[in-house]
Amino acid sequence: MPAPHGGILQDLIVRDALKKNELLSEAQSSDILVWNLTPRQLCDIELILNGGFSPLTGFLNENDYSSVVTDSRLADGTLWTIPITLDVDEAFANQIKPDTRIALFQDDEIPIAILTVQDVYKPNKTIEAEKVFRGDPEHPAISYLFNVAGDYYVGGSLEAIQLPQHYDYPGLRKTPAQLRLEFQSRQWDRVVAFQTRNPMHRAHRELTVRAAREANAKVLIHPVVGLTKPGDIDHHTRVRVYQEIIKRYPNGIAFLSLLPLAMRMSGDREAVWHAIIRKNYGASHFIVGRDHAGPGKNSKGVDFYGPYDAQELVESYKHELDIEVVPFRMVTYLPDEDRYAPIDQIDTTKTRTLNISGTELRRRLRVGGEIPEWFSYPEVVKILRESNPPRPKQGFSIVFGNSLTVSREQLSIALLSTFLQFGGGRYYKIFEHNNKTELLSLIQDFIGSGSGLIIPNQWEDDKDSVVGKQNVYLLDTSSSADIQLESADEPISHIVQKVVLFLEDNGFFVF
């Protein structure tokens, strides 16, 4: 089993256990400055406190931050590719100076740690975006950097009170120390870790077993359950899939543990970071995938990263990483032989192969199409269908545009009455929001539960991000309307028919 990165597992929970009560009293005193951690910061601090980010013992100060951004190293020369920073707004930054003590809380209630400030600095986000994420403004991490993250960073050391509280899957959330002990108790000295943020299917099981066989190692399925790419399948669905897929491995060869990581989707740099983290968790080998941790393509169809950038960068650091890199080998199904095989070992001009892309899988889930057993296990498909129902089971919202002059109340009643007569088990509701954020944020919740909403009034443009776009349709005379009317005072019966036919065309109704 490899030593942790930097030589020592920085388990701050163990280190600070004897002064926990003292730190807790300080955090709950009225004199201390308090910061409520963001979702990303909660992920980061958990991995600092439990040693997953060893050798870090706090959030990066300016010297370490600048060195990581420009050189992929901490100021002392240690390899580290992703800046781990505590971002705050200007008002909070103005209250801080070196040696200030800050109590860091989860959900404004749970004290997690106390930070002793080393410095407060305003980063050059343009340089960070270019150096760490390659500068494309459509990159999700760059969007986060400029639109969500605070303008100031606070560097400093942490003293641990407790890990962030999780109420789901407590038995699967192993810390590095716990996982290392688990491997030792099983006498697993060679472990190949598999990183994923997606559901696993037969091909993933096949490639991990092949990697284990080639490395003469066991398998750690180590999926990310922190923040991933916007639009990814939720982690609850994915964990149910992982719990099912782990049963399909030979007894005693595979172990499942969840990683509370906030991914940055930073491609090659992130692959190196992932390897360091898995080394801290006790893995001796790490599978690096094709376009590992990349966010795909931008709106112009251009890849954010090359397909093998991650493998090449990790390989260039192999002597410092002290973890064996296992390149991801794409496998494909051979229907005539009923088996999977690496695509690079197959002459596809002579041998028939089958595969289903992620896009095609999502389409089949959306329309209720067949997903064959050679691709995925029936139990896995059942889990995915529960969380990704076909269109007739999905929810939707019909939003009345500002140009409509017909009676909005009567049109709402007419649509509700029409929808109810169709049956089908979908819940329908006329939804008034009064442009209140707390009400608008419920729209996607209703849609996600399969409800049909009739929304008589549009919201202000600045609330679009609150509502989202999934299955939200505008009824209006404008050219941008999803359901376009010929005139603002079109007869209600005509409007109802257009709405019904639109919903049928889009698969929400099947007559």
Determine contact, residues 204/212, Cβ cutoff 8 Å.
no
* Active-site residue, 40 included: no
68 is in an annotated binding site: no
Cα–Cα distance, 279 to 129 (Å, whole number): 27
Of 435, 398, 392, 433, nearest in space to 414 by CA: 398
Residue 345 known to bind ligand: no
Cα gap 267→132, rounded to integer Å:
9
Catalytic residue among 197, 238, 269, 278: 197
Residue 248 is a catalytic residue:
no
Taking the C-alpha atoms of residue 243 and residue 223, their distance in angstroms, rounded to an integer, is 11
Residue with tokens 């950038």: 309
User: b/e map of 192-223 (b: 16 or more CB within 10 Å)?
Assistant: bbbbbbbbbbbbbbbbbbbbbeebebbbbbbb
In the set 50, 57, 175, 196, the catalytic residue is: 196
Catalytic: which of 63, 100, 116, 198?
198
The radius of gyration of the chain from alpha carbons, rounded to an integer in Å, stands at 26
Q: Is 44 annotated for ligand binding?
A: no
Rounded CA-CA distance 95/448 in Å is: 41
The helix/strand/coil state of 332 is: strand
205 is in an annotated binding site: no
Residue 173 among known ligand-binding residues: no
Distance CA 413, CA 65 (A): 58
Locate the DSSP E strands across 294-409: 324-327, 331-334, 339-342, 396-400
DSSP 8-state assignment for residue 282: T
d(CA 254, CA 210): 12
Q: Is 248 annotated as a binding residue?
A: no
Task: Compute how many other C-beta atoms are within 10 angstroms of the C-beta atom of residue 159.
Answer: 21
Q: Which string of DSSP letters, residue by residue, matches 415-458?
A: HHHHHHHH-SS--EEE---TT-HHHHTTHHHHHHTT-EEEESSP
196 is in an annotated binding site: yes
First to last CA, the chain: 61
Separation between Cα atoms, residue 20 and residue 407, nearest integer Å = 63
Q: Where are the beta strands (DSSP E) in 15-163?
A: 33-36, 58-59, 86-88, 101-106, 110-121, 152-160
197 annotated ligand binder:
yes
What separation in angstroms does the CA of 479 have from each of 272, 401, 403, 463? Answer: 47, 11, 12, 21
Catalytic residue check, 198: yes
CA dihedral for 295, 298, 302, 304, sign (positive or negative): negative
Provide the annotated binding site. Answer: 195-198, 289-293, 331
Catalytic residue numbers, as ranges? 196-198
Provide the annotated binding site for sulfate. Answer: 195, 197, 293
Provide the annotated binding site for ATP. Answer: 195-198, 289-292, 331
